[in-house]
Structure 1
Amino acid sequence: MQSTLSLEAIEEIDFEVAKRDFRFFFEEILGFQLSWHHEQWYTNLESRKRYCVKAARDHGKSTLFLGYMLWKTAFNPKTKAVLISHSLHQSIHHMRTLNDLIDGVPFLAKMKKADSWSKTFFGFSNGSNISAKSVGGAIRGIHPDLILCDDILWGTTDTELARVASWFYEVLVPTLHHTSKLMIVGTPFTPTDLYTELESRDGYLVETYPAINSKGEALWPERWDLESLDARRNDMPAIAFAREYLCEPMDDVSSLFPSTILQAAKDSTLKLIEREVGDPDDQYFIGWDPAISSDRAADYTVMVVLRRPSTNPELLELVHAIRRKNMDFRTQITEIQRLNAKFNPDVIELEANNFQRVFATELRADTDLPIKTFISTRQRRESLLMGLVLRFEKEQIRLPWGDDRSRTLMSELERELLMFGMSKKGRLDSIGRHDDFAIALALAHWATTEFRERIVDLDEIMAGLLD
């Protein structure tokens, strides 16, 4: 008898503490880790009525939001909650997960109403309930206190995504009372999907949590450290990794540089080199995209070296690249001089907008480096990118893929290139967090055209003089 009373007392204490403390409920009762990003989600769920999280795959988004829904229904009598996924099958899968969690906690298991418990409806003894629905399903007539939309997007075509958005605004939203809470969580599909659209709507807080942040740090290193993420990156196409783990959606059809042409450019016999080697008649060209000094922590300085083999002048090979953060003015000057000494380039093409022009001014005054400046306007930037696209489409560019170091660096370039596409306003732009590598490559390619424009046919000149 004493043992039974003791267990009941412990259960009662657990119930009361869990009711007041979500962290205790999530970690001690359900047995999950509440990482810093999960805690941020919880904080925003408590303070906002319309909250959307775009997060990387397998970083606990469904677990946290399902745990929050269970916490609200279990400890707040007569709470009506609805769980919605892109398919009823997926919604039922989540309900099965919830049922397993409930069965594993004695005081929650005792709250199950046997006559109101099925795979799509959970009724609790405190009058609360959770029902499972799917996108496109009928939900008219219900007015829940809590709605969780978990991965409701499906398809990647404009028509498919438009159907989801139409259902969301015309069917789901009207069921919400102004006091209801709407929780949305998922992985973005395209740059114009519902999640992105909600960012511009008043009343919605939309946040993005990629597996690797802009500083190169892992979001949840206890589960996915950088080494594990790099391994996963190598397991799948770059465009898929960018969408699923970096929350940077771009489909192959929309990309200016589709994966098919990038794949064709990879050369398993080519490796990055540290200085010019081989045929002395080969030509080298450098593209340089300097970071703006006031924002060094956010931008990369990138320098890309292309080689034009004398035996095949239509071909360009990427043979060296520097991609670093936090390079100050003097360090960049030193680095470009070092590359000039090692590769003896015919042209160094420098993007020279605003502050960046200072680099050209100093180098021209103090050195004989073959600096050419590229002043970027919208039209010139589009010409810059389209020239590079044509080079890839003609299979006249080669990316080094012959060793781990080359593949790691080229994967970063590949990801940036995939993020370029045509916006709804008809402009070429990148949806990625960084485009420095891609622009530096485009500048190096532009440098090859600058050099050709400067070539003069000496035979024609001599013939004219002799005449």
Structure 2
Amino acid sequence: PGKDKGKDMILLTKMDKRPPNWTFVFAVDVARSGSVSADYSVAIGIAYNSISQEKQICYFWRSKGLKISEQAEEIAEISKNFNHPYLLVEQNNMGQDMIDELTDKYNVNVEAITTGAHTTGKNIKKEELIRFLISAFEHEKITIPRGDEYSREQMSILEDELTKFCAIPTPAGNELFQGVGAHDDCVIALALANRATQTVGIPFAVTLGPGRTQAGGVYSALLQATRGESDIEKMIKLGIIK
């Protein structure tokens, strides 16, 4: 796809009509506290094509300083507008309170996931979650909407976080993924939404072992050649992320 990929797509406010091979998935990264000075809570929706594996970012919500009950009310309204799609919420921090509120009060189709040190059950390593996201960008499966001013404005927030998200070597020789800026909430929400597509469709990444996924050919080689810079930032420069 050319650099104009996404130029005709916009963020949605409610579900649009699509062929049956398209489905909507959502994910929420919940702020660690409800104070105004805390992280943002971010919800991202993806329209997913189970045949082509295309993933179009279709919804973006970002807020802070809201009580869990207020956030749950917002998410429940989003769920209603998209015909109650599959929703993945990180269970860490205040996520469990959000899950309880969404389930008990609004009957939302929500599932919990924990980004911990183990990968059993509904747990997944944060590094593996981010590698799944990098793989999707690497294979040009994710489309960022740029069709109107609002979409471009909102996606600039996401893109800014993506460019500041780096793989940092650890003393043990592993990699630790984290944002070098003040926030990485949007990146985590997108990674969770990308993960949610595996639940409603065919998995897109083949795990080769702890923290490793299938190589991405020439793009993988290019990325490996310039370690130390943000993988996602390099993809933007290489034109992989459109």
* TM-score normalised over the length of structure 1: 0.39
**Do 2:32 and 2:39's aligned partners in 1 also have CA atoms closer than 8 Å?**
yes
C-alpha distance in structure 2 between counterparts of 1:353 and 1:347, whole Å? 19
C-alpha distance in structure 1 between counterparts of 2:54 and 2:37, whole Å? 35
C-alpha distance in structure 2 between counterparts of 1:434 and 1:265, whole Å? 28
Q: Which residue number corresponds to residue 148 of structure 2?
A: 403
Decide which of 337, 341, 362 is 2:80's aligned counterpart. 341
Q: Which residue number corresponds to residue 314 of structure 1?
A: 53
Change (3 A) 1:382 1:268: same
Q: Which residue number corresponds to residue 302 of structure 1?
A: 42
- Partner amino acid for 1:327? L
C-alpha distance in structure 2 between counterparts of 1:421 and 1:347, whole Å? 29
Q: Does 1:383 align with 2:128?
A: yes
Q: Which residue number corresponds to residue 446 of structure 1?
A: 195
Name the structure where helix makes up a greater proportion of residues. 1
Q: Which residue number corresponds to residue 274 of structure 1?
A: 13
Higher-RCO chain (CA-CA 8 Å, sequence separation at least 6)? 2
Change (3 A) 1:290 1:296: farther
Change (3 A) 1:343 1:373: same
Aligned residues: 192
Change (3 A) 1:275 1:294: closer
Q: Does 1:285 align with 2:34?
A: no
* Superposed displacement of residue 355, structure 1: 2.6
**Do 2:34 and 2:68's aligned partners in 1 also have CA atoms closer than 8 Å?**
no
Deviations 1:36-68 (A, max 9, x none): xxxxxxxxxxxxxxxxxxxxxxxxxxxxxxxxx
**Do 1:289 and 1:303's aligned partners in 2 also have CA atoms closer than 8 Å?**
yes
C-alpha distance in structure 1 between counterparts of 2:18 and 2:94, whole Å? 37
Alignment of 1:144-155 (within 5 A): none
Give percent identity, aligned residues only: 28
- Partner amino acid for 2:92? N
Q: Secondary structure at the match of 2:159?
A: helix
- Partner amino acid for 1:284? F
Q: Secondary structure at the match of 1:400?
A: coil
* Superposed displacement of residue 354, structure 1: 3.1
Alignment of 1:351-370 (within 5 A): 351-370=90-109
C-alpha distance in structure 1 between counterparts of 2:96 and 2:141, whole Å? 31
- Partner amino acid for 1:360? I
Q: Does 1:329 align with 2:68?
A: yes
Q: Does 1:430 align with 2:179?
A: yes
C-alpha distance in structure 1 between counterparts of 2:4 and 2:196, whole Å? 20
C-alpha distance in structure 2 between counterparts of 1:301 and 1:433, whole Å? 14
C-alpha distance in structure 1 between counterparts of 2:199 and 2:68, whole Å? 25
Alignment of 1:197-216 (within 5 A): none
Deviations 1:110-167 (A, max 9, x none): xxxxxxxxxxxxxxxxxxxxxxxxxxxxxxxxxxxxxxxxxxxxxxxxxxxxxxxxxx
Deviations 1:371-404 (A, max 9, x none): 1111111561111111011001100110001111
C-alpha distance in structure 1 between counterparts of 2:61 and 2:18, whole Å? 23
Rg comparison, structure with higher value: 1
Change (3 A) 1:266 1:301: farther
C-alpha distance in structure 1 between counterparts of 2:25 and 2:105, whole Å? 21
Give ranges in structure 1 of 5+ residues lacking alignment.
1-260, 455-467
Give ranges in structure 2 of 5+ residues lacking alignment.
118-123, 204-242
C-alpha distance in structure 2 between counterparts of 1:266 and 1:435, whole Å? 24
Change (3 A) 1:388 1:265: farther
What is the RMSD of the two structures over their aligned residues, measured on CA atoms?
A: 2.3
